[in-house]
Structure 1
Amino acid sequence: MTVNKLSFFASGNGDSVLLKAGGTTIMTDIHYCQGHADPDDDSKPDFTPQIRDACTDDCLDLFVLTHPDKDHVRGAGDVFYLGPPEDWVSDPDEGDPLILIKEIWCSPYAANGAYDEDESKLILGEIRRRKELQSTPAADKDGNRLVVRSVDDAVVSGRFGNAEWRVLAPTQAEAHIPEPKKGELRESCNPTSLGIRWTVTVNGGKNHILLLGDATVAVLERIHDKILLKDPAALDWHVLLAVHHCSRRSLGWVVNPGKDEEFIESKKALKVLGRQLGSGYVVSSSRRFGRDVTPPSSHARNRYYKILAETDDLTKVMQADRDRFLVTGSNGDGKPEHVIFDLTASGPSRRKQAKPLAAPAVASSVGGGGSYG
């Protein structure tokens, strides 16, 4: 039976998105957590069985790294095999094999000089290993393929297996973050996020999925000026991943940070995110709301409510609109829950959990990554 499914795994403030388009399996980012560094953080269920079930012969067709902050790369080496494919053990004596990644996509930042942290060392090392093989016969072998993408490329759209893609970010300039001078703080790599709109067609009906990683408000405003005004349909979506774990800083500007924290929404950014088709869904890959730290931001959630309801008046947002804003960190009972959609001829259909998730197998601290709020 052909499977077309989209899964947002509950992994705290971190992205772990699995797209199954017929025989094609694509994973965007991973936040696979271990340890208990933050006892106040939400526990997270183990989702590796779902990834393995979606793969054929323990091989993932494509892994997309938006950017190498730890909440987008953590645990990659615990789930995926990272190394020369000829050394991969496909049938170990005990347990399941690590999953082989046939192809990796990343931004120029991840390929050309992203900084290493403990969580990112393995995946960035794998990207560099594959980059060194380019222009050699081995580069096209499963387990060695690497494609570095930006919106400035000659080709910014195409088909990968049974899914269509369109790159929206970053530009080459956005992907270039110089090393800090001595004594200076390192800049956030959020602006380097590889943003892609995926489309899966089922019996003639399209399912559009918009994934922008942790793109900043400046990046969204650039998308408005350079893409939305010329080709607005490129931003259409049925399912939108709330940018930066539902951070308000992707929707506007903080004035006088550290003082009165005045916030000004960006009309351009909101227009970029407002291309909902039909009764769409917004997914917040975050811990549950109601904590004293952000993200997720209640301000941003209210703005996404308005987008779903197609109104600027929060009082006109109906419960049915609010119900299409889904949070991986809370299923309504305060428990984490994977958000899963079946992709159909009439668009995405949310798959309700038959029962609450089992007791978590893994738990961890919240991943960091750039400015929150």
Structure 2
Amino acid sequence: MSKKSTISHIPVGNGDMTLMKIASNDTYHYVLVDMHIRQNGESDDDKCDALSSLYDLLDKDDEGRPYVDVLILTHPDEDHIRGFRENFHSGSPDDYVEPKDGENGKIFVREIWSSPLIFRRKSKNNSLCKDATAFNTEAKRRVELYKAEKQIGKQGDRIRLIGEDEDGKTDEILDIVYQNEDVIDTLNEVYIKELSARVLGPLADDEFEDNTSPDKNRSSIIIQWGLASHGYSSPSNYILLAGDAGVEVWDVLWEKYKNNTDMLQYDILLAPHHCSWHTLSHDSFSDSDNPQVSEDAKSALGEARPGAVIVSSSDEIKDDDNDPPNYKAMKEYESITEENDGTFQCLADYKPSSGKAPEVLTYKLTITGPQEEAKTSEASSGTAKKAARTAATGTLFTGAGNAIGHG
């Protein structure tokens, strides 16, 4: 049976960790977007073991190293990069340390996608956590290698930048820079005919009307992933991943694309900033008696295709004043999915095996849209985590086996 592309949302509380397995020529290409991996000793019975879940989803290369083809950091907040130093290899590929018997090796990163703006704007307003500093150091190492060699290096040394740096700092390396509205069809320098990933952000400073210093969340990398089913080239699945992009970003994107809304369409949306109210409103939820939704921002986030899923990578959403996740924001997203016969799914509530801990939510990306991958209870099956799962079902909206999207 030919391989099928999937997207897996790993539950990590208020944080993001998304793995796409993109199938092409019967080969998987692994793309990890953000991570929030708790340190050893912090796991609880009611929390998903994110690191073990990631290892279960990955393969090893010919040298026995678990790997990702592309690692993307949308922005350097700790809840998007936690665990990088301890669990991912940095430095020259030649310095990779083989694990001891019975242990998992560090994850080998073949190619990094990063943005200089996410670090520049972060440093103006907030200090970097240790994991973000380590990631930035590794990204700079790879950029300097490219500058010295004037060509893409070997796996483990590769980097692509999303957006230009300020003051012309990337002018001499534009060959490795993806600009906004560019369509990407390569991963780790391999052409993928099933892939059409469109860059939507980070936005440049001059795209915002105000003159204030750009907030770090404005700088989040935003990509609309168009993915065809294996063997096809026309996308049948659209996934919108946007880090912590706030309301100002979505206002601008709506103004840019309100006459070309295909640029914002999705079958799966990861609710930005863990279902925060600040993604949908300029009003403070805690300081305002009647906070109002920005209609432009909601319109930009409302281009759901039939049967679309909005996923909240967050803690449990309660009817209280927390933000994120925010109950009123959830209700706004639910109004979008209800209008399009879709669903809203909070990862903290996804427990199909009826255990205490939330589980990885995976969708197969098929020719008729995403299908939720069914889970088999470990208690009843006695299988290990990596045992084969049952066929995908579409019971969220229609009969078993039907795709959730495209009506």
TM-score > 0.5, shorter chain as reference = yes
Structure 2 equivalent of residue 2 of structure 1: 3
Report 1:1-373 matches (<5 A).
Answer: 1-22=2-23, 23-34=28-39, 43-51=47-55, 53-57=57-61, 58-89=66-97, 91-94=98-101, 95-110=103-118, 112=120, 114-115=122-123, 116-137=128-149, 139-150=152-163, 153=179, 156-160=182-186, 161-162=191-192, 163-173=195-205, 188-202=215-229, 203-204=231-232, 206-226=236-256, 228-254=257-283, 259-290=287-318, 292=320, 293-310=322-339, 321=342, 324-331=343-350, 335-355=357-377
Structure 1, unaligned stretches of length 5 or more?
181-185, 312-319, 359-373
Instruction: Note the C-alpha offset of 1:215.
Output: 0.3
Contact 2:112 2:158 in 1 (8 A): yes
Greater mean deviation of Cα atoms: 108-117 or 279-288: 108-117
Q: TM-score, normalised by structure 1?
A: 0.81
User: 1:212, 1:348 → 2: CA distance?
Assistant: 19
Q: CA-to-partner distance for each residue in 1:85-126, whole Å, 9 max, x for gaps?
A: 12113x434322211111111122245574422332221221
1:165–1:199: 8 Å Cα contact kept in structure 2? Answer: yes
1:246 aligned partner, one-letter code: C
Say if 1:85 and 1:110 are closer, same or farther in 2 by CA, change over 3 A.
farther
Please name the residue that 2:403 is paired with: none
8 Å CA contact 1:102, 1:145 repeated in 2: yes
- Alpha-carbon spacing, 1:146–1:174, altered in 2? closer, same or farther (3 Å): farther
Work out whether residues 316 and 348 of structure 2, in 8 Å CA contact, stay in contact via their aligned partners in 1: yes
Q: Report if aligned partners of 1:111, 1:131 keep a CA contact under 8 Å in 2.
A: no
The one-letter amino acid paired with 1:46 is A
Q: Cα–Cα, structure 1 residues 36 and 288, in superposed 2: closer, same or farther, change >3 Å?
A: farther
Deviations 1:220-239 (A, max 9, x none): 1111112x234311111111
Distance change >3 Å, CA 84–CA 155, structure 1 → 2: farther
Contact 2:87 2:107 in 1 (8 A): yes
Q: Which amino acid aligns with 1:146?
A: I
Which AA in structure 1 matches 2:237? N
Query: Shift in Å at residue 295 of structure 1?
Result: 1.2
Higher RCO (C-alpha under 8 Å, 6+ residues apart): 1
Q: Which runs of 5+ in 2 are unaligned?
A: 165-177, 384-407
The letter of the residue matching 1:284 is: S
Aligned pair in 2 of structure 1 residues 190, 131: CA closer, same or farther (>3 Å)?
same
2: distance between equivalents of 1:123 and 1:56?
A: 22
Q: What is the one-letter code of the residue matched to 2:20?
A: L
SS in 1 for 2:309: strand
How many residue pairs are counted as aligned between the two chains? Answer: 338
Q: Kindly, what percent of the aligned residue pairs are identical?
A: 27
